[in-house]
Amino acid sequence: MLLSRIRLQHVAIAIVLLCIAIFGLHLGNDFVLLDDGILIFRNPFIAQLTPWSLKMIFTTYDPELYVPLTLFTYQIEHLLFGFKPFFFHLDNLLLHIANALLVLTITYKISRKNLALAAFVAILFAIHPLHTEAVLWASARKDTLSALFFLLSMDAFLRYRSRENKKWYIGSIVFFLLALLSKVSVIMLPFIFLMLDVRDKRPLKKSLLEQIPYFVLAMIFGIVAILGKTKNIAGSDPLTTLLLAMKSTVFYIAKLFVPLQLSVIYPQTDPVSLMAPEFIAIILGCIALAIIFFVSLRYAKDVAFGLAFFGLMLIPNYSNFLKNNFFYFASDRYAYLASVGFFLAIGAVLVPFVQKKSTIAASAFLTVIVIFSGLTFVHGKTWKNSEALYRNVLDNYPRSGVALNNLGDVLMKQDDAAAAKEYFEQALEVSPGLLQAHLNLGNVYRAENALDKAVEEYRMFIRIAEQKDVMGPEDMAGYYFLGETLESMGKHQESIRQFEIATEKGPEFAETFFNLGLQYQKRDRTNEAVKIFEQAVRVDPLYARAHYHLAGVYGETGNIAGAIRELEIVLRLDPANAAARAHLQNLKQIRR
């Protein structure tokens, strides 16, 4: 027993060292434009840790997912270190190391103390290239954090099963709650426990009773998740969802075996059709996988458990195929926890055979470790910055309109307008309906003073946006840019009319009223600006800029008390706003 424990510790040490060696040199990576701004460094809730900001992260989405505990970790990091990417990446790495060690411990227990199998699963989990995204993308914290509490819940439940000690059972439920607060995709845990109990022939009635608290939590958070994903779910028909679910499952299996050509996005560029050769092959592959699963139910229960674990943990992600009116069939991080089950199934087949030839097996596994570690390290460079990220996508999917547009956007921010323009034009060649590319190309023309061309692009943006069944806040941008361009062309009435149209098309969006208020304020139509800014903060009480400008027009009309009140709200929303703080001090002195 002591020897076994020491060997397990050796594996644990190897895992820690491997993770540090592979991921450590990438801790200097920057934030990337892909969600890091929305979730972290431009998120007003993260820039402070107050009762108000805590309330907000627990009562809002991110904007689609309910991840309050994840956002809380960002708040702590900002409080201690500011918005320095190094510490956000470091914490992700520490979480990944902890997860790998928990995978080692849990696999050791459920495999009846088979150290070879536990080491096989845990080391592959620690080093696999498919997990690079979850570890090196700061916004993937929700995946590593929810995985930590998911695995802690599993470990506590296994301790409860072996000792019948209620404190471990209660602890497991608490950890499951924390996992759900980190990301709802861990919702399938009670089904995992039921499968484990069935495999180990525990009394079914007792098992079902034990899972009641887990199912109650899963149901509550499932409803919360659906409310946040309503638009995505409604935008995809059941057949499309089913076919893409099959494709993503087969894709993850292929990448777990051969982790090459990994990308941050995997666009579905071809039509999704039941009769397409691609999907016929995928359906046949899924049928073969189902046959393997049902055969293993009878002859290899550990393999069946691993495959079921893999499949169950993928299911919650099948609602994420549609994003911004484009279909994407996979995301590397979605396989983060699911891969544990797949490695377990493969290990359950391979380990009994290779244990008989331990020297050859050890050499083969060491070769796999070296190859996978090298691939993971190289893929880590993809996450260096936004430019590297989108260039990687285009290396694999050169006709991805979204990637072409996003790379152009990155280059535009680097003041390389000529190169950016080429990418925007290429994006529109492959995706003529890509709204953001029309907007960005219009901005390039505007910077070149080709105002007529800019107007044409903005009008095209508006025509496409207005064809949607439901327009979102991002679809209002065309009216704003068109209005500003018409203003610079001297068409003042036509200009302000665009901002008014935006409020008519998007009365539920505070930004439409805010931008119209700015136009009224600029034209000294102060009383109208007051009413419009007031409407903006009614629609969105958290809109700091609208409160700030409302304070300004209140001050212009002599409403000092109102201006002070609005500035105090601004500072609650944005404590670092130096201009608001200075104006507030001046107003308080005037009132004295």
- Domain holding 512, by residue range, is 507-592
Is 295 a domain residue?
yes
Q: What confidence tier does 276 reach under pLDDT thresholds 50, 70, 90?
A: confident
The tens digit of pLDDT for each residue in 8-67 reads 899 999 999 999 999 999 999 999 988 899 999 988 889 888 888 899 899 988 878 899
Is 403 a domain residue?
no
Is 394 a domain residue?
no
Is 412 a domain residue?
no
Task: Please measure the distance between the N-terminal and C-terminal CA atoms of the chain and give it in whole angstroms.
Answer: 78
Same domain, 534 and 561: yes
Has residue 2 got a pLDDT over 90? no
CA-to-CA distance for 592 and 590, rounded, in angstroms? 5
pLDDT for 229 equals: 65
Orientation angle between helical segments 477-488 and 510-522, nearest 10 degrees: 10
The tens digit of pLDDT for each residue in 535-551 reads 999 999 989 999 999 99
- Residue 323, SS3 per DSSP: strand
Average pLDDT, the chain: 91
- Residue 327, SS3 per DSSP: strand
CA-to-CA distance for 481 and 461, rounded, in angstroms? 10
Is 396 a domain residue?
no
**Which of 386, 408, 434 marks a domain boundary?**
386
What CATH number is given to the structural domain containing 490?
Answer: 1.25.40.10
Same domain, 518 and 590: yes
CA-to-CA distance for 251 and 248, rounded, in angstroms? 5
CA-to-CA distance for 551 and 530, rounded, in angstroms? 9
Same domain, 38 and 99: yes
- Looking at residue 12, its amino acid is A
Same domain, 229 and 270: yes
Is 398 a domain residue?
no
Same domain, 540 and 449: no
**Which of 456, 472, 506 marks a domain boundary?**
506
Instruction: Single out the residue of 78, 26, 123, 45 nearest to residue 382, CA to CA.
Output: 26
pLDDT for 1 equals: 43
CA-to-CA distance for 72 and 241, rounded, in angstroms? 33
Is 410 a domain residue?
no
**For range 67-77, the mean pLDDT:** 96
pLDDT for 95 equals: 98
Instruction: Single out the residue of 229, 141, 139, 219 nearest to residue 176, CA to CA.
Output: 219
**Which of 489, 506, 523 marks a domain boundary?**
506
The tens digit of pLDDT for each residue in 324-349 reads 778 889 999 999 999 999 999 999 99
Total number of domains constituting the chain: 3
pLDDT for 3 equals: 42
Same domain, 530 and 486: no
CA-to-CA distance for 191 and 82, rounded, in angstroms? 40
DSSP 30: P
| Residue labelled with tokens 């009635």 | 205
Residues 428/401, Cβ–Cβ less than 8 Å: yes
Same domain, 95 and 161: yes
Instruction: Single out the residue of 6, 3, 4, 22 nearest to residue 369, CA to CA.
Output: 22
Residues 12/115, Cβ–Cβ less than 8 Å: no
**For range 300-328, the mean pLDDT:** 89
φ/ψ of residue 323, rounded to 5: -140, 120
What distance separates the 2 farthest-apart alpha carbons in the chain? 88
Same domain, 488 and 559: no
Instruction: Single out the residue of 342, 323, 123, 128 nearest to residue 249, CA to CA.
Output: 342
Residue 530: CB atoms within 10 Å: 22
CA-to-CA distance for 512 and 473, rounded, in angstroms? 8
Same domain, 497 and 513: no
Residues 395/149, Cβ–Cβ less than 8 Å: no
φ/ψ of residue 267, rounded to 5: -70, 140
Residues 384/29, Cβ–Cβ less than 8 Å: yes
Residue 294: CB atoms within 10 Å: 11
The tens digit of pLDDT for each residue in 445-454 reads 999 999 999 9
Has residue 365 got a pLDDT over 60? yes
Sign of the CA dihedral with 397 first, then 400, 405, and 409 last: negative
Same domain, 188 and 305: yes
Tokens of 383: 């996450």
pLDDT for 233 equals: 55
Is 411 a domain residue?
no
Residue 560: CB atoms within 10 Å: 15
pLDDT for 274 equals: 87
**For range 245-271, the mean pLDDT:** 93
Which pTM was predicted?
A: 0.90
Same domain, 126 and 41: yes
Same domain, 377 and 517: no
Has residue 232 got a pLDDT over 80? no
